[in-house]
Structure 1
Amino acid sequence: MTSMGKTRRVVSLCLSVLAVGAVLAAPARAAVPGQAGGGGPEWSVKPAGTDVRLRGLAAVSRATAWVAGSRGTVLRTADSGRTWHDVSPPGASGLEFRDIEAFDGRRAVVLAIGEGEASRIFRTGDGGATWTESFRNPDPRAFYDCLTFFDNRNGLALSDPVDGKFRILSTRDGGHSWRVLPDAGMPAAQTGEAGFAASGQCLVSAGSRDVWLATGGAATARVLHSADRGRNWTVAESPIPAGDPARGVFALAFRDRLHGIAVGGDYRTGQPSERAAAVSRDGGRGWRPSATPPPAYRSGVAWLPHSSRAALAVGPTGTDLTLDAGRTWRTVGTGSYDTVDCAADGGCWASGEKGGVARLEWRRG
């Protein structure tokens, strides 16, 4: 997909347990950051020292996170955001990084989007001190949008349709090498259908084999699912509105192979985004609109660790929290973020425009 400005294809474990427990015990008290009274989640800004938009994010822990964005930028922190190290790949200043997946504080894989050779994948095993370009797209018809990994070896990357079908790239060695998978098990794409490279969450996985991809830009916003690491896919329609190149499902999150949340809407400023969230309880075969969705377009979503009910959604106009697995949402912050990710120890991070990065903190009432 092209950049968001173009119309066609835009677009410590204890701490965690205490935090989630506090929210679930007092669901009516989540406060909007900056307002007095109440308790609940709020973003603690961690200045990254850049002004680029950071749509790629990988939360490793409360202390360690990677972000990636425009002008070939990759940054890493290992001290909870107090300091950030510029570990951008040499010579990448002309690239648009939109997704980054990290296995730990030293190993990460980053994706640059764009038509043809602009779509590239880089890998580091030494915390970004050195990078290896492991894939450069040779097909001018392909446009890669996002990445996901099942474990530290097996992963996939998603391209917009080529010859009428979404294209899937696969690695079995942690991103050192990649190959295009056969498309015989991929259903036909709709006219104008594409993924949104808005948050690195248009392709997500859960467990060792299940993966889902989100679409928009066509008559219907859909979610495709594969139970065999991307070889064969089934299709489900979502209730999130589409019918326009700027509308559809922008991000997915699955906490296991059955329970998923989809968010999206219309990314254009000022445009309404009714039914901006939906939920699935059957692995993505069926989707229901949230009874009380976020009030506007949302581009990123993440389940809170060690909770079967709590999740966060983010977008340019705010952050929303659900405490009932996506059925209802309420706004808990008004800052602008494009993507959100949570680590197993409870470290939740968000990033977005103008170099914005933050880590979730929990305030008592």
Structure 2
Amino acid sequence: MAAGVCGVALAALTVAPAQAHPPRQGAPHWALKDTGAPQVRFRGLAAVSRETAWLAGTGGTVLRTTDGGTSWRNVSPPGAAELQFRDVEAFDARRAVVLAIGEGEASRVYRTEDGGATWTESFRNTDPKAFYDCLAFFDRRHGLAMGDPVDGRFRILSTADGGRTWRVLPAEGMPPALDGEAGFAASGQCLVTSGSKDVWLATGGGAHARVLHSADRGLTWTATETPIPAGDPARGVFALAFRDRAHGLAVGGDYRADQPSPQAAAVTRDGGRTWQPAATPPPAYRSGAAWLPHSRTSALAVGPTGTDVTTDAGRTWRTLDTGSYDTVDCTPDLGCWAAGEKGRVARLER
């Protein structure tokens, strides 16, 4: 029953940009929530439920709501104002891990167990060649962080204690990176997991936009080309979403506003071994994606120029909203959140 409700809700989602008239009563739509932080761009989003969500963004900013976005508490780590948070993974309303990006020591991981009242810096990068992009967890203890290639191979950090400690995994199981290949720290979704051991990472910048897959928590990887265009530092796969270990979506394109993004989405039905282009892709660059909970066919994709929906598992997409968002996340209790520039945060409501 939940799957049917979700599918109907997405199919009926109406265009509701911030400047538009309110949607008709009862129609699902993005409802903007005032964060009180118009100067912050939130590329990190962790939706825990319809009531609880975490945001991570520029200026070392971390916000948390526990009342569905009616109010937001600034729980930023002390002394982090110079950092750029691009990803947050939350286990509940009290426990979360955030990732700061950048070269050298700018790449850091912080962890809280008390809703952001206090934070512990659990990792600080000391390799000047490393630059970390995304976090992802398999469960409350096991997680990975992805970094751009160092000495020709993507760098992977691993934790087995919920982010308290981290270690760099051996590089031998990672295939060589392409010239110019890297990850995109655009939405916290360049590294995603499904189940207890499967993980995928997205790339761009090289001759081909690739997705790498590991079935053993990051120890060994295989690489597959996608049909999403690359060949330029601004092009590639920016976000992945898997509803199980077989069915996944990839979205991306060219993030430059003056450049087109043809073939900006692809789909896999075999765990990333092969990828097919969407028959009708989103019309522009998209940086975030999420499956609707309990649905086998419906998902959202977001970017600076709008939100798109698929109701046929990624084969075709149609634009639903023209508001700017960088990332999207949905929860099992049917809560979907989106976040982006100028402090924009919204929850799907009806």
Give TM class, smaller chain: over 0.9
Aligned length: 345
What SS class does the counterpart of residue 105 from structure 2 fall into?
A: helix
Alignment of 1:235-250 (within 5 A): 235-250=223-238
Residue in 2 that maps onto 1:10: none
Matched, 1:279 2:262: no
Residue in 1 that maps onto 2:6: 20
What SS class does the counterpart of residue 28 from structure 2 fall into?
A: strand
Task: Name which of 32, 48, 54 aligns with 1:45.
Answer: 32
For residues 38 and 31 of structure 1, what CA distance do their matches in structure 2 show?
Answer: 11
CA contact (8 A) 1:41 1:332 kept: no
Code of the residue aligned with 1:57 in structure 2: it is L
CA spacing shift, 1:132–1:37, aligned 2, 3 Å: closer
CA contact (8 A) 1:310 1:321 kept: yes
TM-fit CA distance, 1:100 = 0.1
Residue in 1 that maps onto 2:215: 227
Residue in 2 that maps onto 1:71: 59
For residues 97 and 19 of structure 1, what CA distance do their matches in structure 2 show?
Answer: 34
Alignment of 1:1-365 (within 5 A): 19-23=5-9, 27=11, 29-33=12-16, 34=20, 40-50=27-37, 51-362=39-350
What SS class does the counterpart of residue 67 from structure 2 fall into?
A: coil
For residues 95 and 21 of structure 1, what CA distance do their matches in structure 2 show?
Answer: 39
* C-alpha distance after superposition, 1:239-264 (max 9, x if no partner): 00000000000000000000000000
Code of the residue aligned with 1:45 in structure 2: it is L
For residues 266 and 8 of structure 2, what CA distance do their matches in structure 1 show?
Answer: 25
CA contact (8 A) 1:31 1:39 kept: no
TM-fit CA distance, 1:41 = 3.3
Code of the residue aligned with 2:49 in structure 1: it is S
For residues 331 and 251 of structure 2, what CA distance do their matches in structure 1 show?
Answer: 20
For residues 358 and 17 of structure 1, what CA distance do their matches in structure 2 show?
Answer: 22
Gaps of 5+ in 1: 1-13
Q: TM-score, normalised by structure 1?
A: 0.92
CA contact (8 A) 2:4 2:295 kept: no
CA spacing shift, 1:322–1:21, aligned 2, 3 Å: closer
CA contact (8 A) 1:54 1:67 kept: yes
* C-alpha distance after superposition, 1:180-212 (max 9, x if no partner): 000111000000000000000000000000000
Residue in 2 that maps onto 1:6: none
Percent of aligned positions that are identical: 72
TM-fit CA distance, 1:39 = 7.2
What SS class does the counterpart of residue 29 from structure 2 fall into?
A: strand
TM-fit CA distance, 1:272 = 0.3
What SS class does the counterpart of residue 61 from structure 1 fall into?
A: coil
TM-fit CA distance, 1:114 = 0.2
TM-fit CA distance, 1:269 = 0.7
CA contact (8 A) 2:7 2:298 kept: no
CA contact (8 A) 1:216 1:222 kept: yes
For residues 164 and 188 of structure 2, what CA distance do their matches in structure 1 show?
Answer: 20
CA RMSD of aligned residues (A): 1.4
CA contact (8 A) 1:30 1:39 kept: no
TM-fit CA distance, 1:344 = 1.1
TM-fit CA distance, 1:19 = 4.1
Code of the residue aligned with 1:32 in structure 2: it is V
For residues 3 and 69 of structure 2, what CA distance do their matches in structure 1 show?
Answer: 21
What SS class does the counterpart of residue 251 from structure 2 fall into?
A: strand
